[in-house]
Structure 1
Amino acid sequence: MFEFPSVRKGDGAVKLRNLISILVLCLLAAAEVRWVAPLLMRVPGDYQGELEFEGQLEQRPVADGQWSRNYLIVRRIDQTLASSGDRIVVQAGLRWTDTDGNVIAESRHVYGVDRFTRMNLPEYGDVRRTGQFLFPLHTGRKTHGYWDPHSPGFRLAVFDHSETINGMETYVFNFSTTGVDQDPGVGPGRVTVRGDVAGKLWIEPASGVLTDFTAQGQKYTVDVDSGARGEEREHWRLQMTSATKTRQVQHARATRNALALLELGLPALLLVGAVIALCVGLRSRPKVTAPADLRVDWDAI
Structure 2
Amino acid sequence: MRKILGPVLLGLGGFLLIAGLLGLVWAPGVVEKTPIQVETITMLEGQAGKLDTSTGDLVDNPIFAISDTRTDTELSDDDAVAWLSTSCVMIDRGGDRVCDEDSEDLITASVDIFATDRVTALADNETLDLPADAVPHDGLVNKWPFGAEQETYPYWDGTVGQAVDAAYDRTESIEGTETYVYRVEIDEAPIEVAEGVPGTYTTVKEIFVEPQTGAILNQTEDQQRYLADGTPALDLQLAFTDEQVAQGVDDNAGDRQLLTLVTTVLPIVGFVGGAICLVAGLLLLRGRSRTTTHSRKQDLVGAGR
TM-score under structure 1 length normalisation: 0.79
Task: Kindly state the Cα deviation for residue 66 of structure 1 after the two structures are TM-superposed.
Answer: 2.1
Indicate which of 173, 196, 200 corresponds to 1:194.
200
Structure 2 equivalent of residue 207 of structure 1: 213
- CA distance in structure 2 between the partners assigned to 1:116 and 1:150 by the alignment: 26
- CA distance in structure 2 between the partners assigned to 1:33 and 1:77 by the alignment: 35
Larger radius of gyration: 1
Q: Deviations over 1:217-271 (max 9, x none)?
A: 111233xxxxxx6333221111110110011111121111111111111222211
Structure 1 runs not aligned, ≥5 long: 1-9, 223-228
**2:18, 2:270 within 8 Å by CA — same for their partners in 1?**
no
Matched residue type, 2:24: V
Task: Kindly state the Cα deviation for residue 63 of structure 1 after the two structures are TM-superposed.
Answer: 11
**1:92, 1:149 within 8 Å by CA — same for their partners in 2?**
no
**1:62, 1:233 within 8 Å by CA — same for their partners in 2?**
no
**1:209, 1:251 within 8 Å by CA — same for their partners in 2?**
no
**CA 1:149–1:32 in structure 2 vs 1: closer, same or farther (change >3 Å)?**
farther
**1:197, 1:216 within 8 Å by CA — same for their partners in 2?**
yes
TM-score under structure 2 length normalisation: 0.78
**CA 1:131–1:211 in structure 2 vs 1: closer, same or farther (change >3 Å)?**
same
Matched residue type, 1:157: A
1:47-62 residue pairs with structure 2 within 5 A? 47-60=38-51
**2:227, 2:233 within 8 Å by CA — same for their partners in 1?**
yes
**1:201, 1:213 within 8 Å by CA — same for their partners in 2?**
yes
**2:122, 2:140 within 8 Å by CA — same for their partners in 1?**
yes
Structure 1 equivalent of residue 245 of structure 2: 245
Structure 2 runs not aligned, ≥5 long: 94-99
Secondary structure, in 3 states, of the residue corresponding to 2:226?
strand
**1:93, 1:149 within 8 Å by CA — same for their partners in 2?**
no
Indicate which of 84, 93, 103 corresponds to 1:91.
84
Structure 2 equivalent of residue 128 of structure 1: 136
Secondary structure, in 3 states, of the residue corresponding to 1:38?
helix
Q: Which moved more, 1:31-40 or 1:43-52?
A: 31-40
Indicate which of 72, 76, 81 corresponds to 2:67.
76
Over the aligned positions, Cα root-mean-square deviation in angstroms equals 3.2
Task: Kindly state the Cα deviation for residue 208 of structure 1 after the two structures are TM-superposed.
Answer: 1.3
Structure 1 equivalent of residue 233 of structure 2: 233
- CA distance in structure 1 between the partners assigned to 2:275 and 2:195 by the alignment: 70
- CA distance in structure 1 between the partners assigned to 2:70 and 2:160 by the alignment: 18
- CA distance in structure 2 between the partners assigned to 1:72 and 1:208 by the alignment: 28
Task: Kindly state the Cα deviation for residue 144 of structure 1 after the two structures are TM-superposed.
Answer: 1.6
Secondary structure, in 3 states, of the residue corresponding to 1:67?
strand
Q: Deviations over 1:16-44 (max 9, x none)?
A: x94x8656543431222332243134222
- CA distance in structure 2 between the partners assigned to 1:106 and 1:248 by the alignment: 24
1:21-170 residue pairs with structure 2 within 5 A? 22=13, 25-60=16-51, 65-81=56-72, 82-100=75-93, 102-123=105-126, 124=128, 126-133=134-141, 134-147=143-156, 152-170=161-179
**CA 1:75–1:186 in structure 2 vs 1: closer, same or farther (change >3 Å)?**
closer
Q: Deviations over 1:145-170 (max 9, x none)?
A: 22266874212221111123333222
- CA distance in structure 2 between the partners assigned to 1:180 and 1:34 by the alignment: 45
- CA distance in structure 2 between the partners assigned to 1:22 and 1:118 by the alignment: 37
- CA distance in structure 2 between the partners assigned to 1:296 and 1:79 by the alignment: 81
- CA distance in structure 1 between the partners assigned to 2:53 and 2:106 by the alignment: 21
Count residues in correspondence. Answer: 275
Secondary structure, in 3 states, of the residue corresponding to 2:148?
coil
- Identity across aligned pairs (percent)? 21
Secondary structure, in 3 states, of the residue corresponding to 1:135?
coil
Q: Which moved more, 1:159-168 or 1:20-29?
A: 20-29
Q: Which moved more, 1:32-41 or 1:133-142?
A: 32-41
- CA distance in structure 1 between the partners assigned to 2:87 and 2:68 by the alignment: 7
Task: Kindly state the Cα deviation for residue 139 of structure 1 after the two structures are TM-superposed.
Answer: 1.1
Structure 2 equivalent of residue 256 of structure 1: 256
Structure 2 equivalent of residue 4 of structure 1: none
**1:132, 1:148 within 8 Å by CA — same for their partners in 2?**
no
Q: Deviations over 1:146-196 (max 9, x none)?
A: 226687421222111112333322211111122333317765xxxx31111
